Amino acid sequence: MAGGDDTELLELVVGDIAGGGGCVGHAPDGRVAFVRHSLPGERVVARVTSTTSSFIRADAVEILDPSPDRVSPPCPHAGPGRCGGCDFQHVALATQRELKAVRVADQLQRVAGLARDVHVEAVKGDRNGLAWRTRVRLAVDQSGHVAFRRHRSHEFKHVDHCPIACDEVMQTGTFAAPWPAVEELEIVVAPDTGESLVSVETARNSKPRLPEITARMVLNGRAQQRSGAVHTNVSGISFRVSAGVFWQVHIGAAEALTDAVRSMLGAGHDDSVVDLYAGAGLFSVALARDVGPGGSVLAVERDRRACADAEYNGKGLPQLRVKRASITTSLVERGIGRPHLAVLDPAREGAGTSVMAALHGHASTLRRLVYVSCEPSSFSRDIRVLLEQHWTLTSLRALDIFPMTEHVELVAALEPPS
Ligand SMILES: C[S@@+](CC[C@H](N)C(=O)[O-])C[C@H]1O[C@@H](n2cnc3c(N)ncnc32)[C@H](O)[C@@H]1O
């Protein structure tokens, strides 16, 4: 990639939203331009931030014809060249959801070959798109001050608070405290139980002097106080989540996703279910209750600490078995038995087409599969494998568990040909 000339300014009119949070326009030389901080239909002056032979990335720095959906960003750190965390602070919340719906429908059409209207639903818990993050990762500069990174950069943007973080994150005092000799921090809170934890990472395992804050701390993976985990309740079930283990970030996401997965999957007594990419067992534990003692749930997850949490969270449910393994084509072909129902919730890169083909190999015994995804492009690529084998997408929901950002969560049910 050629370096961008950051003094270069272009005037252009932008169209639809694209991946990466920018809208698509054309530079005078015909190259496609992805313009962040703009909205469809706007005429803007854009500052070029990087270029390749085929496209340009730019930030809208002056809005000549503003969209009626433009708002003043609620976060003082948002905007061109500032904090890189949010993409849509300048967009009315309802419009953010419409933009996400357009992007999902576009990916489904272009990648999966499926025409579908998409509606992005709000979930409970945030305040007008703010105060929803229960987990925040922060960088720390040489002088021990916390910062976020600027967009597509390692440069620091110092912040005193983050409006998309929930109140309990701010109440830990982490943003204001000094963190000398620390490289990175992750704040994790469970607002329902009042527990909070800060994971501290240092270079070369050095032992810095940690500040006095209200949260418990974990230093390079070692709990400094009694416990290195938080506990949280989802629909009446208590979960332990250890430092470093994946958990849904939005304050209402764990419950919204569990409800969506359970109702789409329709697991009944005595069913056998496989939960792939199971994390700390968020779906597995609820599904183990649904199938009852005559059924079975196999939770597959590669992270050792997540597996330990899933086992702990499933205690008293002998029908739940946790298997620590990497999900590969051969594991899906030969290592998951013959389930009636499958759930998969991979990371952003998706499960991959060969794992999907291996799941199709279970079509004769599988009744339904529910795919949970935070990335419409890998989701569309993956489900295409099943659609080409005549599976049907019977249900699709899009949930706004990442307000103010371009991201969206999909939950979809697919059924094999009868
Ligand atoms: C998006 S999280 C979902 C976890 C859980 N469903 C939840 O909602 O809390 C994805 C999980 O997949 C795990 N994972 C990623 N790639 C994996 C692989 N190839 N094999 C097994 N687990 C994997 C990660 O460790 C993470 O816990």
Q: Which strand (E) or helix (H) includes residue 375?
A: none
pLDDT at residue 2, rounded to an integer = 37
CA–CA distance, 121 with 118 (Å, rounded to integer) = 10
List the chain pLDDT tens, one digit each, 418 residues: 334 444 699 999 999 999 888 999 999 888 999 999 999 999 999 999 999 988 999 999 999 999 999 999 999 999 998 888 899 999 999 999 999 999 999 999 999 999 999 999 999 999 999 999 999 999 999 899 999 988 888 888 888 999 999 999 999 999 999 999 999 999 999 999 999 999 999 987 677 889 999 999 999 988 888 889 999 999 999 999 999 999 999 999 999 999 999 999 999 999 999 999 999 999 999 999 999 999 999 999 999 999 999 999 999 999 999 999 999 999 999 999 999 999 999 999 999 999 999 999 999 999 999 999 999 999 999 999 999 999 999 999 999 999 999 999 999 999 999 8
Residue with CA nearest ligand 1 atom 6: 278
Q: Is residue 414 part of a domain?
A: yes
Structural domain including 10 reads 2-69
pLDDT at residue 4, rounded to an integer = 45
Judge if 409 and 347 occupy the same domain.
Answer: yes
Give the position, in ligand 1's atom list, of the atom nearest the Cα of 328: 19
What is the distance in angstroms between the CA of the first residue and the CA of the last residue of the chain? 49
Give the position, in ligand 1's atom list, of the atom nearest the Cα of 280: 9
Judge if 275 and 171 occupy the same domain.
Answer: no
pLDDT at residue 20, rounded to an integer = 85
> Is residue 83 flagged as an active site residue?
no
Gap from CA of 45 to ligand 1 centroid (Å): 41
**Domain CATH code at residue 55:** 2.40.50.140
**Domain CATH code at residue 124:** 3.40.50.150
Ligand 1 binding pocket (C-beta < 6 A) is 246-248, 277-280, 282-283, 301-303, 306, 326-327, 345-347
pLDDT at residue 150, rounded to an integer = 85
Gap from CA of 301 to ligand 1 centroid (Å): 6
Q: State the helix-helix crossing angle for 282-291 and 304-313, rounded to 10 degrees.
A: 30
Judge if 164 and 206 occupy the same domain.
Answer: yes
Judge if 301 and 384 occupy the same domain.
Answer: yes
- Strands 320-324 and 341-344 turn out to be unpaired
Gap from CA of 309 to ligand 1 centroid (Å): 13
Pocket test for ligand 1, best of 235, 302, 311, 409 (most atoms within 8 A of CB): 302
Judge if 187 and 269 occupy the same domain.
Answer: no
Q: Is residue 237 part of a domain?
A: no
Gap from CA of 279 to ligand 1 centroid (Å): 5
pLDDT at residue 203, rounded to an integer = 82
Residue with CA nearest ligand 1 atom 14: 277
pLDDT at residue 369, rounded to an integer = 98
Pocket test for ligand 1, best of 123, 232, 234, 246 (most atoms within 8 A of CB): 246
pLDDT at residue 205, rounded to an integer = 66
pLDDT at residue 1, rounded to an integer = 33
3-state SS string over 124-186?
Answer: CCCECCECCECEEEEEECCCCCEEEEECCCCCEEECCCCCCECHHHHHCCCCCCCCCCEEEEE
CA–CA distance, 316 with 238 (Å, rounded to integer) = 12
